[in-house]
C-alpha cells in the first residue's frame, strides 16, 4: 500500500476501482484529480503500474493513495473505506471501474466462467458501492457513486454469455442503490454509465475496427476520456440520480446501415 502524507481538509476524495492499470479507470482517476480531487487508486494485480501512476499524480500536486485487493472479497471494500477515512477523512465519490472481459463460445462456457464474471462485475460492484455508500450516509454532504455497465446488455452479441450475465445486473443495482442510499441521506446520488466500444483490443484487425466504428451513428469509437467526462458529470450533478447513461456514440439505438433492421413492409403511397 502506498500512502502520501496528507491532512484532513476540504478537498473532495474520489475512489476509482480498477484504476491501477493504464486503462479507462486510470483515465477517470486522473480526470477527477486535475479537477481538485484527492485520488484513491485501486488495483488487484497491477501494483507496479498503480504505484507509478500514484507517483505521477503526486508529482503534479495531486494527493493519492493506493489500495490493493479483490473487489469481490467480502472484507476488502470495508477495509479500503477504513483506510481512505484514516488517510483523507472523507469519501465523496466512488467510480466502479473494476471489471473483467472474457469471451468463450457458449458450448465451452463453464460454471466457473459465469461465477467469475458475476463475482467481479456484479458482486464486486455491489460490495464496493455498499461500503462506500454506507459511509456517505454518515456524511452531511453525502456523496456520489457511479457504476459502469455496458450498452450491449440490451443487444448482446454471441460468445460473451458469461460476461453479459455478470454485467446484466448493473442497471438494476444502480436504481436499487439510488433508492437505498438517498432514503437514508438525500445528499447521495447513484448513477451508471453504459459505454460503447472503448479502447479496442489490440488483437482486433483494422477492418474489424472500421466495421465497429461504422456501427456507431457518430462513425467513431469511444475513448477513455469520454467515459471519464461522463463519470465526472454524473458524480457532480446535484439533481440526477438513478440514471443509466449510454456513452456509445448512438450505437444502442442504431442497428447499422442495413435493411435487415426494417421490420415493416413498404407502405403504399397515398
pTM of the predicted structure, to 2 decimals: 0.90
Query: N- to C-terminal Cα distance for the chain?
Result: 72
The edge-to-edge listing of strands for the beta sheet with 64-68 is 2-3, 64-68, 38-43, 13-17, 93-96, 143-148, 188-195, 244-247
- List average pLDDT for each run of 10 residues in the chain, which is 270 residues long: 49 97 96 98 95 97 98 97 98 97 93 97 98 98 98 92 96 98 98 88 76 82 94 98 96 72 48
Nearest CA among 153, 198, 185, 196 for reference residue 171: 153
In the numeric block, which cell numbers belong to residue 15?
Answer: 475512489
Q: Give me the pLDDT at residue 7, please.
A: 41
- Domain 2-254, CATH 3.40.50.720 — does that match? yes
Q: What is the pLDDT at residue 258?
A: 59
Burial class (CB in 10 A: 0-12, 13-18, 19+), 143: buried
Give the 3-state DSSP-derived string for the chain, with helices as H, strands as E and coil as C: CEECCCCCCCCCEEEEECCCCCCHHHHHHHHHHCCCCEEEEEECCCHHHHHHHHHHHHHCCCCEEEEECCCCCCCHHHHHHHHHHHHHCCCCEEEECCCCCCCCCHHHCCHHHHHHHHHHHHHHHHHHHHHHHHHHHCCCCCEEEEEECCHHHHCCCCCCHHHHHHHCCHHHHHHHHHHHHHCCCCCEEEEEEEECCECCCCCCCHHHHHHHHHCCCCCCCECHHHHHHHHHHHHHCCCCCCCEEEECCCHHHCCCCCHHHCCCCCCCCC
Taking a C-beta distance cutoff of 8 angstroms, is the pair 116, 100 a contact? yes
Phi-psi region of 191 (alpha: psi -120 to 50; beta: other; left: phi over 0): beta
Amino acid at each position: 500500500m502506498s500512502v502520501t502524507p496528507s491532512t484532513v481538509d476540504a478537498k473532495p476524495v474520489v475512489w476509482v476501482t480498477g484504476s491501477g492499470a493504464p486503462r479507462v479507470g486510470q483515465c477517470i482517476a486522473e480526470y477527477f484529480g486535475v479537477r481538485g480531487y484527492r485520488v484513491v487508486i485501486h488495483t488487484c494485480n497491477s501494483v507496479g503500474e498503480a504505484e507509478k501512476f500514484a507517483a505521477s499524480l503526486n508529482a503534479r500536486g495531486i494527493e493519492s493513495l493506493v489500495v490493493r485487493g479483490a473487489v469481490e472479497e467480502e472484507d476488502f471494500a470495508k477495509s479500503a473505506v477504513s483506510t481512505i477515512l484514516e488517510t483523507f477523512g472523507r469519501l465523496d465519490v466512488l467510480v466502479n471501474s473494476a471489471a473483467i472481459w472474457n469471451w468463450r463460445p457458449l458450448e465451452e462456457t463453464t460454471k466457473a466462467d459465469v461465477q467469475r464474471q458475476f463475482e467481479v462485475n456484479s458482486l464486486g460492484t455491489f460490495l464496493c458501492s455498499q461500503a462506500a455508500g454506507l459511509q456517505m450516509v454518515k456524511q452531511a454532504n453525502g456523496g456520489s457513486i457511479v457504476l459502469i455497465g455496458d450498452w450491449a446488455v440490451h443487444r448482446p452479441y454471441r460468445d460473451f454469455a458469461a460476461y453479459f450475465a455478470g454485467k446484466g445486473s448493473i442497471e438494476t443495482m444502480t436504481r436499487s442503490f439510488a433508492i437505498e442510499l438517498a432514503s437514508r441521506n438525500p445528499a447521495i446520488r447513484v448513477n451508471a454509465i453504459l459505454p460503447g466500444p472503448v479502447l479496442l483490443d489490440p488483437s482486433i484487425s483494422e477492418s474489424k475496427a472500421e466495421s465497429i466504428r461504422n456501427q456507431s451513428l457518430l462513425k467513431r469509437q469511444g475513448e477513455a476520456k469520454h467515459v471519464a467526462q461522463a463519470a465526472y458529470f454524473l458524480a457532480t450533478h446535484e439533481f440526477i440520480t438513478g440514471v443509466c447513461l449510454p456513452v456509445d456514440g448512438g450505437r444502442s439505438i442504431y442497428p447499422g446501415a442495413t435493411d435487415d433492421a426494417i421490420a415493416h413492409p413498404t407502405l403504399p403511397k397515398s
